[in-house]
Amino acid sequence: MEINAFGVHEPRMIPSTPSHALRFSSDFGLSLSERTQRRPQFDFLAFPRRLTFPLSRTDSTPLDSAILVRCSTSSFMGSSSSDDSDVDTDISESELDERESKSYQELKNGERIVKLSHETFTCPYCSRKRKRDFLYKDLLQHASGVGNSPSNKRSAKEKANHLALVKYLEKDLADAVGPSKPASNNDPVMDCDHDEKFVWPWRGIVVNLPTRRTGDGRYVGESGSKFRDELKERGFNPTRVTPLWNYRGHSGCAIVEFNKDWPGLHNAISFERAYEADHHGKKDWLANGTEKLGVYAWVARADDYNSSNIIGEHLRKIGDLKTVSEIIEEEARKQDRLVSNLTSIIELKNKHLREMEERCSETATTLNNLMVERDKLLQAYNEEIKKIQLGARDHLKKIFSDHEKLKLQLESQKKEFELRGRELEKREAQNENESKYLAEEIEKYEVRNSSLQLAELEQQKADEDFMKLADDQKKQKEDLHNRIIRLEKQLDTKQALELEIERLRGSLNIMKHMGDDEDVEVLQKAETILKSLSEKEGDLEALDELNQTLIVKQRKSNDELQEARKEIVNAFKDLPGRSHLRVKRMGELDTKPFHEAAKKRYNEDEADERASELCSLWAEYLKDPDWHPFKVIKEEGRDNEEGKEIEVLDDGDEKLQDLKNAWGEEVFKAESNVARGSEILTEQVEKKQLEKGTPRSCHDDQTNISLS
């Protein structure tokens, strides 16, 4: 039993004659339509060449071509039972042929060893574990089976190598093992009766095997594998030897199994005739009156199958009785059924192919329409993409230009920020010093605040003293004013006396130069002038002493008055907001013109910063005692005929001129007004009139606050 192309276990169908097999394979290979696979056609067209090739045994006995023919429809049809016959291969058909040619050249050039001796050969493409010695026909059968195997376990490369080995054995080594001889009419298989019943599958019977008795009374003998190897060495190629055992042990009999094909039958008949030629056949075994020495063997037939001994029982279990004609007819029927099935399959596949062609044509039409629509859509899409890209390119250009502008602006701002950072670092250092100064001032303020809290307790007593002090100061101020008037008159008198003295001295000097010793009148007059001059000088010294005394008293009174004014101002700084009197710093720099001028040049934030810097700078200039932008001139007028010296602002001062040119007239006037004061004083003023407050008004305001 074998597996056919459809996976069904069936006996192998073999044509009855080589001509029948040749005609079947040729008709089948040529009957397939052009739409069928190429591989089945190739196999069936190559089959006639396999049929006509002579196979030789090691004993150079030719075999009948009818027996050597093996219908390999399973391998042929196995590749055609699927629509994609090349699924098993991992390379294309052209590459397979190329690989086969390359391997054939390697074998032909002697790069791979095939022939070991005159009778033994080896397969150069099998692994070392599987390598063994072959006879010529066994190696050819092995290479052909692997090369045409439909199994997926065999790679395409391995199949190509074995096909090349088949080609090499057929072309180059066929003559080396002995020339082919035509099939003779006395072949054992052809001479056998086709109507005689044999045990199927082919079986041989071996009797009179040597046994020995063991101690327990049972018989034992050699293993079947050893006898099988002996038969293989003789060229009978059995597949298996099964010793028969019974209750007494080894029966001395064995069943020899052969392949289930025509070569297997040939091996079985050869096996039988070899023993018959050695007078150890079935007839010799059944003959009476002769001593049975050695092993006897023959092919199992109907009488053996139907016997009641251990051999018959075993044969009935493993096989059936069939004639050669029945096997050929059965194989032919199965072959016809296979061809019929293949024909129906081909028709069905052709029908499916026509349907697929119609579908393909419809699909091609639809696909063409879709491709046209796709081209239109693609063209529209490309145009739209171009528009988008152009728009994006313009947009990117604009963004790039804006980016460059912003980059330049950022660089300029970065430089400006770096400059500001440096200035801020400088200011930070200044601020640290100022913060320390402020901390000290805060401490002083806290101390002063505590003093003020104590002073509040004595406020009532201080009010009375303050009134008296204010009245005294007023009187002293009036006295000082009168004294100043007197001093001015005395100063005028002093200056007149000094002028008179100078005039008299000049006259005296003139008289000394003009007069002589005899001019008595002149001398007397000179003495009179000298006396008058000495008197005037005495009066002048007295006036100087009086003036110095008055100046000292005025300074003491002025110092006391300034101390009282400072105390009043400090007291007014701590007054609540409802008082109508406030404190104003007289002679302090007015920052408003500076801010107005800075706003014209810079933005609002930067203008305040620049104005603050400028005010701080000029405040430092004002505190500098070395800078004195004034000059002394004589004032001319009706009231000052002789010319009184007065101090006026020097308009030609370099710093004031730079300020005027850089920031304008308003800033220049503000700085000039402050410069004339030369000292920053703090005065109390009224909020409405912004006039200087009197001590009396200050006392009244404090009294009202205390009462409220």
| 339 within a domain of the structure (yes/no) | no
For 221-230, the CB contacts below 8 A with 24+ separation are 221/250, 221/252, 224/254, 227/254, 228/256
One domain for residues 124 and 54? yes
One domain for residues 28 and 118? yes
Question: Which residues of the chain are modeled with pLDDT < 70?
Answer: 1-91, 127-132, 175-193, 460, 462, 466, 512, 514-520, 522-523, 565, 568-589, 625-626, 628, 632, 634-647, 674-708
One domain for residues 22 and 130? yes
Residue 682's closest CA among 560, 591, 587, 615?
Answer: 587
Residue 375 pLDDT: 94
Beta strand 219-221 with 9-10 is: unpaired
Residue 41's closest CA among 87, 88, 93?
Answer: 93
One domain for residues 109 and 238? no
The secondary structure of 34-46 as a DSSP string is TTS-HHHHHHHHH
Q: Inter-axis angle of helices 695-707 and 520-573, to 10 degrees?
A: 20
Residue 192 pLDDT: 63
Residue 171's closest CA among 104, 238, 235?
Answer: 104
DSSP summary character for residue 56: B
Answer yes or no: are the C-beta atoms of 584 and 682 closer than 8 Å.
yes
Answer yes or no: are the C-beta atoms of 14 and 331 closer than 8 Å.
yes
Residue 174 pLDDT: 72
One domain for residues 167 and 208? no
One domain for residues 257 and 154? no
The CATH number of the domain where 310 resides is what? 3.30.70.2890
User: Is 515 buried (19+), middle (13-18) or exposed (0-12) by CB count in 10 A?
Assistant: middle
The secondary structure of 258-302 as a DSSP string is --SSHHHHHHHHHHHHHHHHTT-SHHHHH-SSS---S-EEEE-BH
Token digits of residue 50: 């396999």
Q: Inter-axis angle of helices 38-52 and 73-80, to 10 degrees?
A: 170
Residue 676's closest CA among 651, 659, 658, 654?
Answer: 651
- Amino acid (1-letter code) at residue 446: E
Cβ-based neighbours of 580, under 8 Å, separated by 6 or more: 686, 687, 688, 701
One domain for residues 166 and 248? no
Token digits of residue 68: 């050597």
Beta strand 197-200 with 320-323 is: antiparallel
One domain for residues 111 and 248? no
pTM value? 0.31
Cβ-based neighbours of 157, under 8 Å, separated by 6 or more: 90, 91, 99
Q: How far apart are CA 420 and CA 410, in angstroms?
A: 15
Q: How far apart are CA 337 and CA 91, in angstroms?
A: 33
| 355 within a domain of the structure (yes/no) | no
| 20 within a domain of the structure (yes/no) | yes
Task: Give CA separation, 412 vs 265, 408, 418, in Å.
Answer: 108, 6, 10
The radius of gyration of the chain's CA atoms, rounded to the nearest angstrom, is 74
Tokens 């200050």 — which residue?
698
Token digits of residue 412: 């300029």
Residue 599 pLDDT: 81
Cα-based angle 521, 523, 528 (whole degrees, multiple of 5): 95
Residue 153's closest CA among 96, 88, 64, 78?
Answer: 88
| 378 within a domain of the structure (yes/no) | no
Which residue, of 575, 593, 621, is where some domain finishes?
575
Residue 86 pLDDT: 38
Answer yes or no: are the C-beta atoms of 242 and 254 closer than 8 Å.
yes
One domain for residues 34 and 142? yes
One domain for residues 14 and 128? yes
One domain for residues 161 and 224? no
Answer yes or no: are the C-beta atoms of 325 and 200 closer than 8 Å.
no
One domain for residues 157 and 110? yes
| 146 within a domain of the structure (yes/no) | yes
The domain containing residue 469 runs over which residues? Answer: 458-575
Which residue, of 250, 284, 318, is where some domain finishes?
318
- The total of structural domains in the chain comes to 3
Q: How far apart are CA 191 and CA 266, in angstroms?
A: 11
Q: How far apart are CA 256 and CA 74, in angstroms?
A: 26
| 644 within a domain of the structure (yes/no) | no
Cβ-based neighbours of 95, under 8 Å, separated by 6 or more: 156
| 390 within a domain of the structure (yes/no) | no
| 450 within a domain of the structure (yes/no) | no
Task: Give CA separation, 82 vs 2, 30, 46, 345, in Å.
Answer: 20, 19, 20, 10
Answer yes or no: are the C-beta atoms of 297 and 281 closer than 8 Å.
yes
Which residue, of 551, 575, 599, is where some domain finishes?
575
Residue 253 pLDDT: 93
Token digits of residue 509: 């000097």
Q: How far apart are CA 191 and CA 280, in angstroms?
A: 20
